[in-house]
Chains A and B, each alone.
Chain A
Amino acid sequence: MVLQNMDTMRDEKRKAIPALGFYPQDEISTGTTLIAMEYNGGVVVGTDSRTSAGSFITSRATNKITPITDNMVVCRSGSAADTQAIADIAKYHIDVYTMTENKPVTIYRSSQIFRQFLYNYREQLSASVLVAGWDSELGGQVYAIPIGGFVSRQRSTASGSGSTFVQGFLDSQWRPDLTLEECKAIVKQAVGLATFRDGSSGGVVRLAVIDKTGSKFELFRPDKPGFPFVQTPTPHLSFPPHIEQVL
């Protein structure tokens, strides 16, 4: 397996430009872990809070859960600029439809509005989102829209670079008829596990629960209790025992 290092890949295109340093610069991307699960009565979404440009963390306490309406959020991953722009534009359209039709736009329709932009501009964008919310027609819904613009409804899904580390965990934890508390525990633990391994994910864990009463947002900080705990095995020595070691 050839692991192409980001630095060598970028070197081929990088030119030294006096005013800018090197161009093109490493793209600012929300490396990210996004987890979303449906439960009976709503949805639970959880994210990390790290925005990175190459190896540098540009923002360590980002909020990647963006409210669109009182009953819907979008979780953003991919290029930070692209997802912010798409969220703004889609929110505008959803607001207009809500006002002109005088009733809330369904989550399904909102996901299609996102798809309209993410698909039609797919070559220019690098954005992967999760649209999650509650409406009175179908209850709690999660729609995954990865790069390219394909929409599918999911009961439990993960997105972003950290998702690869926890897909197996989510698969093993899911079962029908999960309660709200069980979902919250699974989502929080999944974000914690992904953050533990993925360099592009980290910081705090942000959780949101959306049900018919609206959205509630929670924050779990590493320096406060409640942060997901990952049990690490007791280590072996790094060097052979004849070389002095202190554990």
Chain B
Amino acid sequence: MNSHEEVQRTLNPTCTGTSVIALQYKTGVVVLTDRVVSYGKMARYKNVSRQYKVNENVLIAFGGDHADFHGFKMSSNAKYFSGNASIKILGRKHSTDTSLAFSTEGENFLAHAIVKIRIFRRCKMNPVWNTLVVAGVEEEEKNNKETSTPFIGVITQKGCAYQVKHIATGLGAYLLNQAVEDEWRKKGEDLSREDAEAVLRKSLELTLYHDCVADNEFEIGRVDATEGVVLGKEEKIIGDWSIAETNCQYE
């Protein structure tokens, strides 16, 4: 990235995306994002995807400024987003240093590099205004699908990175994290893909009711141990509006 002489930008995000919800299931990860670009509070462009397939094992979903993500992706493309990166959790090797929560072995860095760039930009008051959710499947042993483990990593705007089993970002962080965790606790790692997707759809309903900039058209992408990355088809949800029948005067 041509860093130092860059114009100051993105202290005010303009075209933004809202929540990302991700959940691990038995053999992979499902990620849900809606498909609207918000310009302030206006739904300016529809049918825009916020999920990006990096390679066969890794899917990135983002919330926050669209231009920042695409700019970041363009300039990082050659170096980081190619090849067959597999992500290893650094916790295996260096257990306590959470700032280096992800790393890769071999010639492809992914989340590690993103974290470092984020911290650098943030300190320069030139942040990349995105919250990234990195979803992937790790292979414990080469080519052995049985031992693959799903992986969700979150990277905030300022470069704070951590690994989770389920996450909701944006306004979803306030609305959904508990709901998703409740569902997760019922079955934990034994969730099937259909169960996980049902949890995500239910969560989207909540954001639809309480997030001004959420949209009812969405996509669910997944990373699966056997199928690799499968991007989602566009779907629509309407919700339950029977509450409107009983409102009387003001509320």
Contact = CB atoms under 8 A, between A and B. Distances in A.
A223 B212 contact: no
Interface in A210-247: 219, 221-224, 232, 235-236, 238-239, 243-247
Nearest to B221: A246
Interface in A153-195: 161, 165
B120 to A, nearest CB: 22
A56 B213 contact: no
B250 A8 contact: no
A203 B41 contact: no
Interface in B161-187: 171, 174
Interface string B20-49: 000000000000000000111111101111
Given A8-B11, A222-B241, A232-B46, A61 B213 contact: no
B244 A84 contact: no
Interface size class of A (residues with CB under 8 A): 35 or more
Interface residues of B, number: 42
Given A56-B171, A239-B52, A3 B239 contact: no
Contacts of B140: none
B250 A63 contact: yes
B211 A239 contact: no
B127 to A, nearest CB: 12
Interface in B204-251: 209-213, 230-234, 238-245, 247-251
Nearest to A205: B244
A102 interface: no
B14 interface: yes
Contact of A247 (B41, B233, B238): B233
B251 A223 contact: no
A5 B39 CA distance: 10
A79 to B, nearest CB: 13
